[in-house]
């Protein structure tokens, strides 16, 4: 009997993970329909009937919407309230006009371009392609962004919105890391939303955004913000500090060493305030012991998910602290300091 019970649990476990994609695509559907926006505009809990009317969907599918909302409520995105639905903390970050909205990020990362390579991972393990993305599409991720203007735009917009959310935490908890800097270069800074936030927050700081020419083409700077088209593997514009947000996980260890060496060339000595600031993930780092164990489990699982996403799409990885330290040492940095910010960590490197 015990063996039968174990078999039942095993079968349930398999089916649960086999169908886990439904969580992702249900979330994508909610964002595309604008459900968080409708509930926010409603100003309080909304009934299913009111939600159907506000979304202007086919009324014959009201029951089906209720089934979708049941899953999203159980997943913690919405809260059941007064025979209706209210926003939960995660869905507040999916309101499209929220200053740190992750809605574009959700739609892009759950879209077909990112999902496609996962259908080729087993094939990839048998071939010589660096990534499953190349197995699926015959070119690298970065070639795809340079050759497809729409994908390039959508990807950069999604990354920018994700960056603003993370940077809100940086400004709240690590502002002192950037105070007093006279200049900063945002390496791989995309369309510059993060650098603009720095430029606005620190008007005496000269900010430079370095990214590939097709990324920064046509973008206009301000009195303390300039855009430079270039390649971080070749030359990084000089500044007192080099900033890398979610860059290093896209690259293998050897490439990370090359990038950090170029950063080291771009900054002054530590005596003159030079440093590299990395916003990245340290695998295995969790919240404080006072936090809920379930939160730690979700954080660790998310770290593992992201590590595999880097493997499949970019030939990159998320790293444990000892793996980070080896890269730092190989690049010629003698000291580092870390501050955890939820899923991410802020790392200061000193030459």
Q: What is the pLDDT of residues 28-52, one digit of tens each?
A: 999 999 999 999 999 999 999 999 9
Record the pTM: 0.87
Share of the chain above pLDDT 90, in %: 79
In the set 42, 64, 153, 249, the catalytic residue is: 249
pLDDT of 74 > 80? The answer is yes
Q: Report the pLDDT value the prediction gives residue 172, as an integer from 0 to 100.
A: 85
How do strand 206-211 and strand 183-187 relate by DSSP bridges?
parallel
Q: Are 179 and 195 in contact (CB under 8 A)?
A: no
Q: Report the pLDDT value the prediction gives residue 322, as an integer from 0 to 100.
A: 95
What fold is seen in the domain 2-97? Arc Repressor Mutant, subunit A (1.10.10)
- Interatomic CA distance for residues 18 and 71, integer angstroms: 16
Q: What is the mean pLDDT of residues 247-271?
A: 96
Q: Which tens digits make up the pLDDT trace of 301-340? A: 999 999 999 999 999 999 999 999 999 999 999 899 999 9
Domain range 112-350, CATH class: alpha beta
Q: What is the mean pLDDT of residues 94-113?
A: 92
Q: What is the mean pLDDT of residues 261-275?
A: 96
Q: Report the pLDDT value the prediction gives residue 1, as an integer from 0 to 100.
A: 47
Per-residue confidence band for 158, with pLDDT thresholds at 50, 70 and 90:
confident
- Interatomic CA distance for residues 86 and 96, integer angstroms: 16
Q: What is the mean pLDDT of residues 8-26?
A: 94
Q: What is the mean pLDDT of the chain?
A: 92
* From-to residues of CATH 3.40.50.150 in the chain: 112-350
pLDDT of 162 > 50? The answer is yes
Q: Report the pLDDT value the prediction gives residue 289, as an integer from 0 to 100.
A: 44
249 assigned to active site: yes
Q: Are 351 and 334 in contact (CB under 8 A)?
A: yes
The DSSP symbol for 231 reads -
The DSSP symbol for 233 reads T
Q: Are 228 and 210 in contact (CB under 8 A)?
A: yes
Q: Are 73 and 83 in contact (CB under 8 A)?
A: no
Q: Please, how many CA atoms are within 13 Å of residue 255, restricted to the half-sphere of its CB? A: 13
- If one compares 168 and 246, the residue with the highest pLDDT of the two is 246
Q: Which tens digits make up the pLDDT trace of 115-130? A: 999 999 999 999 999 9
Q: What is the mean pLDDT of residues 65-76?
A: 97
Whole-angstrom CA distances from 302 to 32, 92, 308 are 23, 20, 10
pLDDT of 290 > 60? The answer is no
- Interatomic CA distance for residues 142 and 27, integer angstroms: 27
* From-to residues of CATH 1.10.10.10 in the chain: 2-97
Q: Report the pLDDT value the prediction gives residue 287, as an integer from 0 to 100.
A: 52
N-terminal to C-terminal alpha carbon distance within the chain? 64
pLDDT of 296 > 60? The answer is yes
| Residue found under tokens 């899923």 | 343
């Amino acid at each position: 009997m015990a063996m039968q019970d174990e078999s039942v649990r095993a079968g349930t476990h398999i089916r649960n993970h086999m169908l886990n994609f439904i969580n992702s695509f249900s979330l994508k559907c909610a964002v595309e329909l604008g459900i968080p926006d409708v509930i926010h505009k409603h100003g309080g809990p909304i009934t299913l009937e009111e939600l159907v009317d506000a979304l202007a969907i086919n009324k014959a599918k009201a029951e089906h919407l209720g089934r979708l909302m049941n899953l999203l409520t159980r997943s913690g995105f919405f809260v059941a309230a007064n025979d209706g639905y209210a926003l939960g903390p995660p869905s507040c970050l999916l309101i499209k006009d929220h200053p740190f909205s992750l809605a574009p990020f959700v739609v892009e990362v759950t879209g077909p371009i990112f999902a496609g390579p996962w259908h080729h991972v087993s094939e990839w393990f048998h071939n010589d392609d660096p990534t499953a993305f190349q197995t699926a599409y015959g070119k690298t991720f970065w070639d795809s962004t340079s050759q497809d203007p729409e994908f390039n735009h959508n990807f950069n917009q999604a990354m920018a919105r994700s960056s603003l959310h993370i940077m809100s935490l940086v400004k709240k908890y690590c502002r002192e890391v950037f105070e007093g800097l006279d200049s900063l270069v945002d390496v791989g800074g995309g369309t510059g939303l993060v650098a603009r936030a720095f430029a606005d927050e620190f008007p005496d700081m000269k900010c430079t955004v370095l990214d590939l020419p097709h990324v920064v083409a046509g973008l206009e700077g301000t009195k303390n913000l300039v855009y430079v088209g270039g390649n971080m593997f070749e030359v990084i514009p000089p500044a007192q500090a080099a900033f890398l947000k979610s860059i290093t996980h896209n690259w293998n260890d050897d490439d990370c060493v090359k990038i950090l060496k170029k950063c080291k060339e771009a900054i002054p000595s530590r005596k003159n305030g030079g440093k590299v600031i990395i916003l990245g993930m340290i695998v295995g780092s969790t919240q404080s012991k006072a936090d809920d164990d379930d939160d730690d489990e979700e954080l660790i699982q998310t770290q593992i998910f992201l590590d595999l996403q880097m493997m499949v799409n970019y030939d990159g990885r998320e790293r444990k602290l000892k793996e980070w330290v080896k890269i730092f040492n190989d690049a010629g940095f003698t000291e580092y300091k870390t501050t955890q910010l939820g899923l991410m960590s802020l790392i200061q490197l000193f030459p």
